[in-house]
Amino acid sequence: MIVVDGVVGVGKSTLMNILVEQGYVPFREPVDDNPILDKFYYDRKRYSFPLQVFFLNKRFKQIKEASKIHNSILDRSIYGDVIFAKMLCDNGEMEKEEFNLYRELLENMLEHLEAPKLMIYLEASVDEAIRRIQKRGRDYEQIVERDYWQHLNNEYSEYFKHYNKSPILKINVDNLDFENNMEDREKVLSLISEKLKECSK
């Protein structure tokens, strides 16, 4: 089981689709069937806790299923999701009691999960992430202020600096276009392959 994580717009789904072509079985991020996400971006304080619980529940179910399948890959996961909950709490958009309840629920769930074989963390600067978000063009992402993306990027960097649940591969994608540039794609695939061999020793 491989997990691909990173800030919004960094290329997680693109990399997962490339790895699916290599034979991996995909477990995609539950965005399209999420009835709360759009509402959240317009009223964070009202919808932050139900949104995080929605993701937590979906990701728990996903990773349980993925752990039973050989060569599964997840687009984001239950591990990095706490970043969003913490940030919402820090911003006063989630009550501390709600965050404590969320964290307790998460810790209970993690006790019942098999850790991924590899965590791939895609790093990007804020400017690059925003450029990719604008290019993607999801309406509810376009209204988000730069400070939010900056804060999110900082929280991601901090979280993955201390991540220790499984082996991790960090790839900075600021100057990589592994979607359209075959040389960049081969470079990324080679990094992943080498890290997986290292994990298997």
Check the annotation: does 72 bind a ligand.
no
Element (H, E) at 2: strand 2-6
Check the annotation: does 19 bind a ligand.
no
Check the annotation: does 80 bind a ligand.
no
75 catalytic? Reply is yes
List the end-to-end C-alpha distance of the chain, in Å, as a whole number.
16
Check the annotation: does 177 bind a ligand.
yes
Dmax (CA) for the chain in angstroms is: 49
Check the annotation: does 7 bind a ligand.
yes
Q: How far is CA 153 from the centre of its chain?
A: 12
Both structure tokens of 59? 């990701």
Check the annotation: does 53 bind a ligand.
no
Which residue among the candidates 75, 147, 174, 184 is catalytic per the annotation?
75
In this structure, are residues 83 and 72 in contact, taking their beta carbons and an 8 Å threshold?
no
Binding residues: 6-14, 29, 41, 52, 76, 81, 132-136, 141, 176-178
> Which residues does the annotation mark as catalytic?
75
* Known binding-site residue numbers for ATP: 6-14, 132-136, 176-178
